[in-house]
Amino acid sequence: MQEIRITDDLDVLLAVLPPSLVDALQRIGKFNELIEIVMDLGRRPEARYVSNELGGEELILRESEISVEDIDYLIERIGEFDDDNRAGITRTLHRISGIRNRRGTVVGLTCRVGRAVYGTLEIIEDIITSGKSILLLGRPGVGKTTLLREAARVMAENTRVVIVDTSNEIGGDGDIPHPAVGRARRMQVSTPSLQHEVMIEAVENHNPQVIVIDEIGREQEAEAARTIAERGVQLIGTAHGQTLENLMMNPTLSDLIGGIESVTLSDEEARRRGTQKTVLERRAPPTFDVLVEIRERYKLLVHYDVAEAVDNLLRDKMPLAEIRELVNGEVRRTPVRLTRNDVEADAQPRRPRRSLSSAGESVTALEPASPPAFKLEKPNVMTPAVKPLEGTTTALAVPQSREPREGFGTAPFATASTAIKLSRLAEGETIQIEEDDALDELPSDLKGKQMRLFAFGVPKHRLKQAVRNMSVPAEIVESVDDADVLITSKAYYRTRPRAITDAEHNNVPIYVLRSNSSAQMESCLADLFSISSEETVPYERAMEETEEAIRRVLSGDRLVNLSPQNTFIRRQQHERARVSNLVSHSYGKEPLRHVRIFRE
């Protein structure tokens, strides 16, 4: 077991802060838990801590607001700001980041405490020393750079290590690297936009065996990382994002895990897979072999085979991974198969702030809570539900043979993404769907239960996104035997494949979509969960307009302006453009603010 030793040079950082803030920090104590000090002009200064032991992560240091003199006091005692508005203190790991106004004057400062934590690499030391390229992900402040710095020090004992240090956050400020990086050599980057050139220069000029990179965030840097990996050099780096799925949805950085592209399948292969003809697949081998998601400071999720994990997620299968925890100096490893909640990045809840009085006591003031998520019982005004579109008439034979799942109705149903009304039929009879009938509300005991959906001949990733957009309790299953509802398209339903006949034989309700658009899928979910809203028609029309604009831009149009919409709908339009690897920006002022979609 390695002994954990921390060096933070905190006295050097305190020496550049205004004396009133230093006094407040000393009254609080808990220096080992201090993350950063925030100083914004005209606002009260705050200190942010790691744990909740003090009642929250943010403490107000004094009641008086930050003045220009306070900011100038600190700036005069530190180094110059670089192009990325970051400065440091020579021979320390502390980072001071500035916020400027339009005239270039600094009006805000974030003073991040830099710590060299020795002995923390034990939790992934076997992976680091295996020679494989490793990518670290995690939210800001969780310890990515600390782990990266310790990896550089340990690897430099036996191999040639070069650090590409864009913001001097790994090796500290000044020309002499901090002792925390050991024997590793450090290359500084004059301008953040040139980081990719310094990465290539490191390989060509200094013959490294390992290159350590912090904050891969641009497309050029992702391409440089691939070039380095192809030359046989081990990469250890961090990137923006919290989970593997974040990178898959990021068109700029997806190349780090192989890239995602659209592939057209043959009719036979599409039928064999039970998907539409156009699917998403991994484009190339990943740049990084292993991906580590840092969930907490001493709790990690490890994907040993990035290629296999990406392929599984693209096929809507949850990958195998390993949870690693450091408990009482012992590394505990637990193999797990991820669930949908594991691969989605949940927003971090806001925490209460506390004001520090002159006596060191504090008073808690809770911040406003986030608005509740979309609920079935009462749709949120800002997240309108989807009203079914008018459809066509479809016939469906429904034998009775399987007992329904507890909590679900016994009457089977089908739709062409239209509101329908069904009556209980005898075995072997046919259901005729009328366009203008109203859908009977599902049983009351269905609400709150998780519905299992089987997608056959429709894009699973799009259905999954529709479930997330509408926040309904549903999951996508891999077998019709496990499903409560089968969702398919008109083309597949007409061919009567085995999955359809099996569903009918087992009395599994079938929904037939008029098209594979997201709007149709959201209409289907609205039918299933009896969701309605007065604003559904504008929402659905806006989504159809968005999909038509995306098709036009992909077909060659330079840009397409969409109709003015509210904030929620514009956010959905931006998301759909991003998923299609297109660029979108909002223009104009309310109520005429609209989205424009175009290529890069």
In this predicted structure, which of 212-216, 300-304, 434-438, 442-446 has the lowest mean pLDDT?
A: 434-438
CB atoms within 10 A of CB 138: 23
Pick the more confident residue, 334 or 449.
334
Could you give all domains of the chain from N- to C-terminal order, each with its CATH number?
5-112 (3.30.450.90), 119-343 (3.40.50.300), 395-519 (3.40.50), 536-598 (3.30.1370.50)
**Is it the case that residue 90 has pLDDT exceeding 70?**
yes
Whether this model's pTM surpasses 0.85: no
Per-residue model confidence as pLDDT tens digits over 370-412 = 333 323 232 332 333 333 333 333 333 333 334 444 444 333 3
Note the maximum CA span of the chain.
Answer: 86
Q: Which long-range contacts (CB under 8 A, 24 or more apart) does 425-434 make?
A: 425/398, 426/400, 427/399, 427/400, 428/397, 428/399, 429/397, 429/398, 430/395, 430/396, 430/397, 430/398, 431/395, 431/396, 431/397, 431/398, 432/393, 432/395, 433/391, 433/393, 433/394, 433/395, 433/396, 434/393
**Is it the case that residue 180 has pLDDT exceeding 50?**
yes
Kindly calculate the radius of gyration of the chain based on its CA atoms and give it in whole angstroms.
Answer: 28
- Give burial (CB, 10 Å; 0-12/13-18/19+) of 461: middle
Three-state SS for 116? Answer: strand
Pick the more confident residue, 447 or 72.
72
Three-state SS for 47? Answer: strand
CB atoms within 10 A of CB 24: 21
CB atoms within 10 A of CB 559: 15
- Residue 159 backbone dihedrals phi, psi, to 5 degrees: -135, 170
Per-residue model confidence as pLDDT tens digits over 461-471 = 888 888 877 77
pLDDT at 570: 86
**Is it the case that residue 348 has pLDDT exceeding 50?**
no
**157: confidence class by pLDDT, cuts 50, 70, 90:** very high
What is the arithmetic mean of pLDDT over 73-97?
A: 89
- Residue 63 backbone dihedrals phi, psi, to 5 degrees: -80, -30
- How many whole angstroms separate alpha carbon 566 and alpha carbon 560? 18
Nearest Cα to 213, choosing from 138, 144, 294? 144
DSSP string, 170-193: TT-BSSSPPGGGTT-EEEE-SSGG
